[in-house]
Structure 1
Amino acid sequence: MVTVGELLREWRKRRRMSQLDLALAADVSARHVSLVETGKSRPSADMVLRLAAQLDVPLRDRNRLLFAAGHAPRYRERPLTGCDLEAAHDAVVAVLRAHEPYPALVIDRRWNIVLTNDAVDPFFGDVDPELLKPPVNMVRLGLHPRGLAPKIVNFAQARAVIRARLSRQLAQAWDPELAALYDELLASDAGDDATTVPIESEIAIPMIIRHRGYDLKLFSTITTFGTPQDITLDEIAIESYYPADAQTAEIFRHLDVRATAG
């Protein structure tokens, strides 16, 4: 069984912090950090959480640290659609609906789609039904040749952006399923991801989607819950898409993208 000290050392190295760095951030002695990592001192639950907070450890992994130290898990994982998270669910739905007619969706830590607004649906019209069977994965949907890939005009650029995001995510918190997704769709032909639009000319790297004869130029923003105390809320993000130029904004004002895709 992996000890709490081994887990803390792994997270500390992942965050590129020395024992002294962690000790100063957590307001404890470097010697105490060393004793915990070597198993010579059993940390209290509060100490585990203090160190985990400074290491920016996800809530799911904080529970693992607590268990390894002999303490009960502190954080619950409840379904977003359940009664316990009803207020949070309603808030997320309100954000999605308020963003229409622009697309917005909610993804979990493995990029599985949890919720969408109505503006997303038309873009799935030509997608292979097999890719729309739950859980629908946003990365696979976007990069698969029978998914949205044929609709993405700047596919190589969009693929490069997704690769960078997944790489950062895996560096921050390793996940075997996410790593398998990366290997399946992004690991090969990395050199083929060319940037065709100068980054300095954009407020954000856009995704250009061909829809009903129009080239819709969109950029995305990501919204997360602040200081969540539930694993589900800690791991979801709202991805909202906005028009990246005046032409796309004008098209959205006059085009009902919620109509059946053609």
Structure 2
Amino acid sequence: MTTVGSGTGVGPLLRGWRERRRVSQLELALRADSSARHISFIETGRSRPSEDMILRLAEHLEVPVRERNALLLAAGYAPRYAETPLDDPAMGALREGMERLLQGYEPYPATVVDGVYTVVAANRGIAMLLEGLPEHLLTPPLNAMRITLHPEGLAPRIRNLREWRGHLLAQMERQIALVRSEPLRELYDEVAAYPFPETGGDLGDMADPAPYPYFALPLQIEHGGRVLSFVSSVSTFNTPMDVTVAELAIETFLPADPATVKYLRSLTP
């Protein structure tokens, strides 16, 4: 759901994106090979932009693909980008590619989520971390943020929960500022209100007396009486031409110390 701008028509919507990006009319005009006067006329409704102009402005304002369709609709044009379900036969090559990537990353955890953190694919490394969670959290559709931060989910197992929780909430805040998604805002309000579990957030007796020098904030999570450490990396598709693909993110968890590597490899058949 797009909630950019307070007026009707494409002009107020474009103005909302420009102001959010903190770009002046003159700067946007220079980027888009136009004039500040023309940008002003578009924003006030005095001039109806062409389809190409809308897409050009959206590109320079880094408007997400879903919202580019909303801009076109507001101007009276047909949407440019399809929103194809992942189970559509046309997505077969994409599904196969993602599955190969996730399997190839094993035994390390990796998952694919959509724009509201619904898990659309995951490998056995993720399944290992989810072992023992209550059924109500594992009933599809699974939500990565809900599973991670829920007091009955992974939260009690995360040894640096305060830092990791802050990282995840800040990540969601940045996304909300970018796309203004109402479902994403509702998810944020839900997980941010979860009570802090009594366990988690403190390494306690399991802490390493000589911590490994991490190069990024690690996820430190207990499994089988051990503390595993991962650094996450998020990848998206370049220049997506479909709304569904544009909102997919592949998150891989790189072992952050030799002990985690050794333990995970020991679990591999």
**TM-score normalised to the size of structure 1?**
0.91
Whole-Å Cα distance in 2 between the matches of residues 96 and 54 of structure 1?
33
Q: Say if 1:126 and 1:147, in contact at 8 Å, map to a contact too.
A: no
Structure 1, unmatched stretches of 5+, are none
2:267 to 249, 255, 259: 255
1:77 to 54, 61, 83: 83
Whole-Å Cα distance in 2 between the matches of residues 23 and 85 of structure 1?
37
1:217 counterpart letter in structure 2? S
In the alignment, what sits opposite 1:180? Answer: 186
Q: Render the CA deviation track for 1:187-223: whole Å, top value 9, x for unaligned.
A: 6899xxx999xxxx53211001101111100011111
**TM-score normalised to the size of structure 2?**
0.88
Whole-Å Cα distance in 2 between the matches of residues 202 and 21 of structure 1?
40
1:3 to 5, 9, 12: 9
2:255 to 218, 226, 243: 243
Task: State how 1:32-111 maps to structure 2 within 5 Å.
Answer: 32-111=38-117
Q: Aligned in 2, Cα 1:168/1:189: closer, same or farther, shift over 3 Å?
A: farther
Q: Aligned in 2, Cα 1:30/1:189: closer, same or farther, shift over 3 Å?
A: farther
Helix, strand or coil at the partner of 1:203: coil
Whole-Å Cα distance in 1 between the matches of residues 42 and 202 of structure 2?
46
Percentage of identical aligned residues: 46
In the alignment, what sits opposite 1:208? Answer: 220
Helix, strand or coil at the partner of 1:218: strand
| Runs of 4+ with >3 A deviation | 187-190
1:166 equivalent in alignment to 2:178: no
In the alignment, what sits opposite 2:245? Answer: 233
Whole-Å Cα distance in 2 between the matches of residues 64 and 45 of structure 1?
12
Q: How many residues align?
A: 251
In the alignment, what sits opposite 2:151? Answer: 145
1:16 equivalent in alignment to 2:22: yes
Greater mean deviation of Cα atoms: 21-30 or 59-68: 21-30
Q: Say if 2:149 and 2:194, in contact at 8 Å, map to a contact too.
A: no
Whole-Å Cα distance in 1 between the matches of residues 122 and 220 of structure 2?
19
Whole-Å Cα distance in 1 between the matches of residues 105 and 150 of structure 2?
26
Structure 2, unmatched stretches of 5+, are 1-6, 204-212
Q: Displacement of 1:249 after TM fit?
A: 1.1
